[in-house]
Amino acid sequence: MELALFDLDNTLLSGDSDYEWAQFLVERGVLERAEYEAKNDRFFRQYKEGTLDIRESLEFQLAPLARYPRAKLDEWHGEFMRTRIEPMIRAKGMDLVQRHLRDKHLCAIVTSTNAFIAAPIARAFGVDQLLATELEVEDGRFTGKPSGTPSFREGKVTRLAEWLGKRGQTLASFSASWFYSDSHNDLPLLERVTHPVAVDPDEVLRREASARGWQVISLE
């Protein structure tokens, strides 16, 4: 069996779903524009620079989810999918995922984005397995806190090992493994698969891919 792993934001999508969700809530008037736009931009910049404090970022991202019932959040997410996400789905990204699925590879999306945002997007790509930052839930409502290890940097390696372990597998169980990503933040996982692929990479990842002889592709 072979394994295909896909980053989500700026890889299969032509943008960042975390960033777009916060902007969507700002434009709906759910979040106060001046405060949240500035923080959203700051965290996005830190992510690209490799200086992001994931716990601080998650506190910002998850707090609004604790304020509203799940039904309302799901209603907003449906609109978010139609207006923000569907236009960002890369046709070549969809084709790439479908090719791996047709080849009967075990496929998973591995993203630092929280599972509430990411799960409907994964379904849109036809991928059943999602390794995202999980959310704490009490009495059917999000608490605004993450659950378990955030799926970010080395956390993606940890989450992958946990998931495969539950299946009685490790990366070594697969005859080949792919990971597609645009970001240098994903170097810890890219280094562990047999086929690391840099997708429209940032400059740091582009240099690393060139130095290590990794494949570089564009899904734009």
- Give the predicted TM-score (pTM) of the model: 0.95
Is 9 among the catalytic positions? yes
Of 131, 185, 138, give the one whose Cα is nearest residue 158.
Answer: 131
Residue 88, amino acid: M
Domain 2-217 homologous superfamily, CATH: HAD superfamily/HAD-like (3.40.50.1000)
Using CB atoms within 10 Å of the CB of residue 125, give its burial: 0 to 12 exposed, 13 to 18 middle, 19+ buried. Answer: buried
Q: What is the pLDDT of residues 137-153, one digit of tens each?
A: 999 899 999 999 999 99
Low-confidence residues of the chain, pLDDT below 70? none
Neighbours of 23 (CB within 10 A): 19
Of 96, 131, 91, give the one whose Cα is nearest residue 114.
Answer: 131
- Which of 9, 16, 182, 202 is the catalytic position? 9
CA distance 106 to 92: 19
What pLDDT, on the 0 to 100 scale, is given for residue 47?
A: 87
What pLDDT, on the 0 to 100 scale, is given for residue 58?
A: 86
Sequence ranges of the domains in the chain: 2-217
Q: Is 5 helix (H, G, I), strand (E, B) or coil?
A: strand
- Which of 7, 16, 18, 186 is the catalytic position? 7
Is 202 among the catalytic positions? no
194 backbone dihedrals φ, ψ, rounded to 5°: -80, -25
What pLDDT, on the 0 to 100 scale, is given for residue 161?
A: 98
